[in-house]
Amino acid sequence: MSLSNLNVWDYVVNFIDILLVWFVIYKLLTIIRGTKAIQLLKGIFVIVIVKSLSNLFGFNTLGWLMAQVMNWGVLAILVIFQPELRRALEQLGRGKLFSRGTVPEENQQERLVEEILKASTYMAKRRIGALITIEKGTELGDYVETGIPLKSYISSELLINIFIPNTPLHDGAVILQNNQVAAAACYLPLSESPFISKELGTRHRAAIGMSEVTDSLTIVVSEETGGISVTKNGELYRDLNQESFRAMLTSELVVENIKTTSSGIWNWRGKKNG
């Protein structure tokens, strides 16, 4: 084989090598997209930029401090990213490292809306308290692990049965994940906002808290009033009627409607934050 052929082959190998590296980086970013890890990754980039600028402008003290942060960064990453690393290793063991699951088809999402609407309406009429969180972009694996795993087909009958008073699973939240009932009796973070109405109970405070730390949609059925409320992005929309509730679920959960929704400004007639 001639020298020129060797050089061409080297170029081809290097090109394939670069493509593979970019593919792995892309897939890893896809896995952590929407999780808490992506925010921490941004923080690491900030530290690297500050370290570079401190070296450039001769800020010795700041440079030394950033160097110490980077030296201990590997240990910190292992601690901070522990849930994500564990989940990635589990997926690797199952041969699913590079799969996040396919987006549910529109008819599945429409069925999900109908099942949630049916269950919530039934429980509201009978003053059965309920707390249902629906995963969107941010993975809720950490919260799923606090409850009882179900991994069941979503149906209104199952949701209603879970929240019947004095049953083993009724106390806590149900989390819907990957078009399944992932777990019941889950613990959600309580909001510490001082602006929440005093008349709201633990369910509403947990729903608001969940919406403050994730992009999930959380539904609350009040056992005191029978009202249906929804939280999203730290906001509480109270006492929605059936039409408004259906419109909100459809807008947030059905892919086609998400693509055609323009600004995300909500026009429902619910009361906001009490």
Does the pTM surpass 0.85? The reply is no
Residue 81 and residue 143 in one domain: no
Reading phi first (left if > 0) and then psi (alpha if -120 to 50, else beta), residue 234 is in left
**Residues 165-178, mean pLDDT to the nearest whole number:** 90
Residue 78 and residue 109 in one domain: no
pLDDT at 77 over 60: yes
**Residues 196-220, mean pLDDT to the nearest whole number:** 89
The count of structural domains within the chain is: 2
Cα 10 to the center of its chain, rounded Å: 43
**Residues 88-104, mean pLDDT to the nearest whole number:** 54
* pLDDT one-digit tens code per residue, 14-63: 889 888 888 887 877 776 665 666 666 777 788 888 888 888 888 888 88
Taking CA atoms, 30 is separated from 20, 193, 207, in Å, by 15, 32, 27
Residue 205 and residue 123 in one domain: yes
Residue 124 and residue 15 in one domain: no
Residue 56 and residue 180 in one domain: no
Residue 1 resides in a domain: no
* pLDDT one-digit tens code per residue, 241-269: 989 999 999 988 885 434 434 333 333 43
**Domain of residue 59, residue span:** 8-91
Residue 82 resides in a domain: yes
* pLDDT one-digit tens code per residue, 108-150: 888 889 999 999 999 999 999 999 999 987 888 889 999 999 9
**Predicted pLDDT of residue 69:** 80
* Cα gap 84→139, rounded to integer Å: 10
Residue 84 and residue 118 in one domain: no
Residue 170 and residue 243 in one domain: yes
The packing angle between helices 36-57 and 73-80, to 10°, is 170
Structure tokens given for 25: 């980086």
Residue 68 and residue 25 in one domain: yes
Residue 125 resides in a domain: yes
Q: Which of 42, 64, 91 is the last residue of a domain?
A: 91
Residue 81 and residue 131 in one domain: no
Residue 121 and residue 86 in one domain: no
